[in-house]
Structure 1
Amino acid sequence: MKFLASTLLSNDPALSSRGEHERLRATVDLAVWAERTGYDGFGVGERRNPAFLSSSPAVLLSHIAARTETIRLFTTVTVLSLNDPVRVAEDYAMLDHLSDGRLEMIIGKGNDEPSLKLFGARQEEQWDRLAEAYELLRLLRGLGGGLVNGQPVAARGGVPPGAVTDVRERRTGGWGHARSCPIGIGARARNLVKAESRSERGGEVQSVARAGRLLTQVVDAPEGLSLTELAAGTALNISTVHRLLRTLCSQGLLCRDPVTERFLPGPVLLRLGRRSLVAAGLPEAVEVLRTLVEHTGETASVGVRDGQDVTVGLTVPSPAAFRYHAAPGQREQLRASALGLAILAFGAPLPEGSGEYGELLTVQFRGYAVHDPPDQPGLRSVAAPLITSGSAVTVAVEVRGPQARIGDDRLEEVARAVVTAAGALQELPLSLLLG
């Protein structure tokens, strides 16, 4: 068992009548006393708050190092999320030299509102700022100095915007003893690190997951998105988003419009998309839909279940002047379309006793669904499910057009064409495209 004495240097007049000078001197004397009485370590915390005097623990610990010989010196804690990690590295490397290797750093996020206001930081950014600053501190500890993006890192009161993408050795005093200086993590920060480690061991790498969220946002925005829009849409810290975007752009997955400064899919992502479409059987699927349009004369579409909705993934329009218009990405409620009814009837056990039980049972018996939307009189759609072995039904194909052309006299003919198209489509790996 080891014993550590620690202080934040309270500045509360109700606790002591001594002035600031006397309290600082008393703290140094306390550390000397702790060494003489057998304590293993002495720590000084960090607060930028009128209630405390510990805004510069490195200076105070340096003076304690000069007055002591054996006791280990702790930072309890260094608020790394608010400090420039380069300045922290330089100050504590110097302290570790002067103390003959007695320094042990403990870093933390900090939770002090006055300090946040002083540095213009937001509470929700603190974890990301801490993670980015710790990454650079760790690299500097091993290298002795650093450059960010090829430029010298200057002390600027906080984590530099963007990423630590390039850290190289430069002329500094070096860490010396501090190369082996332990860097501990405060309790709450340690829990976060452990949680993230468990996440990575469970199969998800956090940085990759975040990059995936950014890519999804960009792909779903036809006009592209700005840095601030991406940060808001993913609920990520803007400096983290900036770092990830720079990496994605450097790898060709994204690009930035030089005029609008909005992020768009890059050449590698577009090439990957084309390869995926071919691998998923898109050309063959489009050909099946074209054949269905030729046989029925109506617009043909493939839809995929998305929660309680169905989303159109592929569509081929009817050549007729008066036709139904469908667009990829168009959504409808499952129970308000033939696509949705076909998926519901074959996708799960039927809900016995419900009002729709009889309708879905009829769909199962016939092998296709017919829907005349009450809010669009004169329109009719006919859909059939894509049934694959070993998986629930989530995809269906339909034709939709005026009832005048899909009347009861043609219903069986149109339905047979739709069921035939569903059989052809279910042989293709459309899950790669629509799943």
Structure 2
Amino acid sequence: MFVHVVKSGETLFSIANRYGGTAERIRAANDLQGDQLIPGMSLLIPAGPRSTLEPYKIREGDTLDTISGQLGVPPHIIQAVNERLDEQNLVAGETIWLPVPLRAEKTIDVNAFMIPTGGGIDQEILLDAADCLTYLSVFHRSVNPDGTLSDIPDDKLIDWVKAEHVAPLLTVTNFEGDRFSPDLAHVILQDANIRRQTIENIVNLAKTKGYQGVNIDFEHLHPEERDSFNCFVRELAEASASEGLPITVTLGPKTADDPNNPWMGAFDYRTLGGLADRVILMTFEWGWVGGPPMAVAPLNMVRRVLDYATTVIPSDKILMGIALYGYNWPTPYEEGNRATGISPKAAVEQAIRAKGHIHFHAESAAPMFMYRGPRNEMRQVWFEDARSVLAKFHLVRELELGGISYWMLGNPFPQNWTLLHSTFQIRKPD
């Protein structure tokens, strides 16, 4: 399986004919609702070599044939994944994308977050991805100031998760109202008695509910909570180990350790990486709902975070965060104008309706397009597609990471799950 980027004038039938397949197979592989295509759209071709994607800067003297020979991939597969690649006129210094063949199997852990509603829709959402998951982090139970935990309608979901041979994780946060609260975390972390009561409640609830692990997702901590957060995770790990409950810690992205940093100073990667069984890195939200239009998870920034993290955390403990969503911004950007969330599938459908052109940004390895909205306003959409996730999958293999964590289920992205199965072996809990 490989990626073909639609060129101007191509149709589903001409692409199928080029590779000796059928339009029906390509339509099914990409969950297409019709035959309409637009330039820059990524299609999975259910044939040929399995591969990831790696950026390559063209050198003087390179030809398509020499690159093909070094890579061991036919020239037409390289051309397929690049929107414009004139084999007679390669320009030194330009970045192209190379489909790197998979030389060996790699087994990884895959986690995804999900918010339970208590209704049947939970099972539908789960079943779309269950065969690709090792864990499901049920989001979320917040800690109250007295160490008790909030309630959520998770009973049915836990049963469904276990039936699909996926391990449910109890996700505990410092959420208060509609946001993460550093002050709430301070109350929990600084008082030894409340901290001890919180840990006891977490372990007891996990056992009672049938969870198979605990995920701690405390965010926006004050930098001075660094030592107390380390202490909390250490005490929780000790208490959980006696009950056979592995501990996962979700951490914000950082590229160096500055204990005084107001956003990330409290996250001691080295210590927490030693205490936890798994570490989820939130390598997304550079493009966010209240900021200017840009890639949600630009590859260059994800790479910087992982390059640092793997120097202080065992790489096989790290689950790299991947966003199952994008954002749709009004443009030009003005402070206070907020974006709306959009799934990858919905983003492509919007681009098709608008008869747009999807552009793939070289540095961030992310697709985007612009269109005119219903009130004649210009809008800009950044999202994830087959190319962007394959480029991130390449980092998992290159840096020998433990796996991937998705935020969050409920945003349709069928290409992702197909590629995940094609690229990795996914570990199932014992």
Q: How high is the TM-score relative to the length of structure 2?
A: 0.28
Q: With structure 1 as the length reference, what TM-score do the two structures score?
A: 0.28
**Greater Cα radius of gyration, structure 1 or 2:** 1
Task: Return the structure number with greater helix share.
Answer: 1
Task: Give the structure, 1 or 2, with the largest relative contact order (CA under 8 Å, sep 6 or more).
Answer: 2
More strand by share: 2
